[in-house]
C-alpha cells in the first residue's frame, strides 16, 4: 500500500512526487509511456525560469530529484481507478498490475487533439505527424505544413524551419491571436516560413505517381498544396478517459479539484481553469503534493 500514487511523469507529477517523498510518504509515480509527457518534446525550453536546456533534460532532472528522496517511478499507464480514501484506491494499469494507494494525484496531462478530416487518420505516421521534434528529422530539406496558430504551432514551425526547405503555417484565423509576441516576431523573420491565414485544411490525399510519398493538402477554398509532411498543432485534450463517468470533467476532459472525491487530487494540464504551461504545472503539482500530505496526516 502506497501513501500516494501519482499518475503522470510530467513536471506536475514529478513536482508532486518530490513534495510527497520529501514528506516521508511512500510515493509511486506511474509515468505513462514516456518520461516528461508533452515537456519531453520541447527541443529548447525558454519560458521556464532557471532552465535553459531541453524539455527532456528538465524531466530527467526532476525525476532524479524525486527518486533521490525515495519516490518510485514505473512507466505504465492507468486504465481504471476504483475504491476510495477510506478503504484505499486501486489503480489498474496496462501492464496487468494493480497498485493500491491511500491517495491518488491525477497528473496525466493532455495529448494533441487529432485532426478530423479526410485522410488524416489514413496518413498518420506516413506524412501526418503530431510531434515536430519526434519526426522533423525525416523532413530535412523538404516542404512541410504546420496546422495551428498557438504557441505550440509556432514553436513547431520554427523548429522545422531549421530542418525543412520551406514551412507553410495554415491557420483558420486572420492572425496569431493566441501566440506570444516573441514567437510571432521570430516566425515573421524566417524567410522559409510562409503564413496562410483565413484558411484550413479539409482533405489530405496522396499525390498521384509521387515516388517520394508527397501529399496533396486541400484547403477550404479548394487550393491544393503539395507537401511532404503535415504537422498538426491544433490544441490538446486531457488524458482522463480512464476515469469513471461519475467524475466530472469539462469540455476538454479536464478536472476541477473541488469535484474530485476525498483523497484524490489533480495537477498540471489536466487541471481545469489554468494556463497550460510548465510553470503552472509545477505550481499545481506542488499544491497537490502538499494537499495529499496534509490529507494523509489527518488520516493518522
Among 232, 260, 283, where does a domain finish? 232
Q: How many domains does the chain have?
A: 2
Cα angle for residues 6, 114, 29 (degrees, 5° grid):
10
Cell of 143: 516542404
**96 falls within a domain:** yes
Residue 273 reports pLDDT greater than 80: no
Whole-structure pTM value: 0.81
- Catalytic residue of the set 93, 135, 200, 286: 135
Cell of 168: 507553410
Sheet holding 128-129, edge to edge: 128-129, 229-232, 143-147, 166-170, 193-196
pLDDT in tens, 49-68: 999 999 999 999 999 999 99
Q: Are residues 134 and 146 in the same domain?
A: yes
The helix (run of H) or strand (run of E) holding residue 225 is strand 224-227
Q: Are residues 61 and 148 in the same domain?
A: no
User: What is d(CA 152, CA 134) in angstroms, rounded to the nearest whole number?
Assistant: 14
131 catalytic residue (yes or no) = yes
Among 42-56, 92-106, 279-293, the minimum mean pLDDT is found in: 42-56
Q: Are residues 225 and 253 in the same domain?
A: no
Q: Are residues 213 and 272 in the same domain?
A: no
Question: Would you list the DSSP string of 9-30?
Answer: -SHHHHHHHHHHHHTT--EEEE
Across the range 172-195, mean pLDDT stands at 96
Q: Are residues 226 and 257 in the same domain?
A: no
**30 falls within a domain:** yes
Residue 73 reports pLDDT greater than 80: yes
Q: Are residues 71 and 96 in the same domain?
A: yes
**279 falls within a domain:** yes
135 catalytic residue (yes or no) = yes
Residue 275 reports pLDDT greater than 90: no
Residue 42 reports pLDDT greater than 90: no
Q: Label residue 245 by pLDDT band (50, 70, 90).
A: confident
Tell me if 240 sits within 8 A of 254, measured CB to CB: yes
Side-chain half-sphere exposure of 4, counting CA atoms within 13 A: 38
- Catalytic residue of the set 94, 134, 162, 250: 134
What b/e string do you get for 250-287 counting C-beta neighbours within 10 Å, with b at 16 or more?
Answer: eebbbbebeebeebbbbbbbbbbeeebebebbbbbbbb
User: What is d(CA 74, CA 28) in angstroms, rounded to the nearest whole number?
Assistant: 8
Q: Are residues 107 and 6 in the same domain?
A: yes
User: What is d(CA 300, CA 297) in angstroms, rounded to the nearest whole number?
Assistant: 5
Q: Structural domain of residue 82, as residue ranges?
A: 2-112+236-299
**118 falls within a domain:** no
Q: Label residue 75 by pLDDT band (50, 70, 90).
A: very high
- Catalytic residue of the set 93, 131, 200, 286: 131
Q: Are residues 191 and 281 in the same domain?
A: no
Q: Label residue 89 by pLDDT band (50, 70, 90).
A: very high
Question: What is the structure's pLDDT at 112?
Answer: 87
Looking at every residue in the chain, the average pLDDT score rounds to 94
Question: What is the structure's pLDDT at 297?
Answer: 97
User: What is d(CA 77, CA 72) in angstroms, rounded to the nearest whole number?
Assistant: 14
Among 214, 232, 250, where does a domain finish? 232
Q: Label residue 175 by pLDDT band (50, 70, 90).
A: very high
CATH code of the domain containing 153: 3.50.50.60
Tell me if 163 sits within 8 A of 140, measured CB to CB: yes
Percent of the chain residues past pLDDT 70, beyond the cut = 100
Q: Are residues 132 and 226 in the same domain?
A: yes
**73 falls within a domain:** yes
Amino acid at each position: 500500500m502506497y501513501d500516494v500514487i501519482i499518475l503522470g511523469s510530467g513536471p506536475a507529477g514529478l513536482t508532486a512526487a518530490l513534495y510527497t517523498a520529501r514528506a516521508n510518504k511512500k510515493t509511486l509515480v506511474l509515468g505513462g509511456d514516456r518520461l516528461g509527457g508533452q515537456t519531453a518534446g520541447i527541443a529548447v525550453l525558454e519560458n521556464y525560469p532557471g532552465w535553459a536546456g531541453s524539455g527532456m533534460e528538465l524531466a530527467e532532472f526532476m525525476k532524479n530529484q524525486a527518486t533521490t528522496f525515495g519516490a518510485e517511478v514505473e512507466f505504465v499507464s492507468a486504465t481504471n481507478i476504483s475504491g476510495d480514501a477510506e478503504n484505499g484506491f486501486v489503480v489498474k494499469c496496462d501492464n496487468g498490475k494493480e497498485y493500491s494507494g491511500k491517495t491518488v494525484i491525477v497528473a496525466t496531462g493532455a495529448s494533441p487533439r487529432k485532426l478530423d478530416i479526410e485522410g488524416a487518420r489514413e496518413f498518420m505516421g506516413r506524412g501526418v505527424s503530431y510531434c515536430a521534434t519526434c519526426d522533423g528529422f525525416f523532413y530535412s530539406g523538404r516542404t512541410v505544413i504546420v496546422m495551428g496558430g498557438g504557441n505550440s504551432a509556432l514553436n513547431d514551425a520554427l523548429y522545422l524551419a531549421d530542418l525543412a526547405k520551406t514551412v507553410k503555417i495554415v491557420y483558420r484565423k486572420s492572425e496569431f491571436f493566441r501566440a506570444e509576441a516573441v514567437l510571432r516576431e521570430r516566425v515573421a523573420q524566417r524567410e522559409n516560413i510562409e503564413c496562410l491565414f483565413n484558411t484550413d485544411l479539409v482533405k489530405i490525399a496522396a499525390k498521384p505517381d509521387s515516388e517520394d510519398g508527397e501529399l496533396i493538402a486541400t484547403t477550404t477554398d479548394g487550393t491544393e498544396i503539395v507537401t511532404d509532411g503535415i504537422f498538426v498543432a491544433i490544441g490538446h485534450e486531457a488524458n482522463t478517459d480512464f476515469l469513471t463517468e461519475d467524475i466530472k470533467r469539462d469540455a476538454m476532459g479536464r478536472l476541477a479539484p473541488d469535484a474530485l472525491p476525498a483523497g484524490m487530487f489533480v495537477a498540471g494540464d489536466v487541471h481545469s481553469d489554468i494556463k497550460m504551461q510548465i510553470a503552472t504545472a509545477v505550481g499545481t503539482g506542488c499544491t497537490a503534493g502538499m494537499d495529499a500530505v496534509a490529507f494523509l496526516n489527518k488520516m493518522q
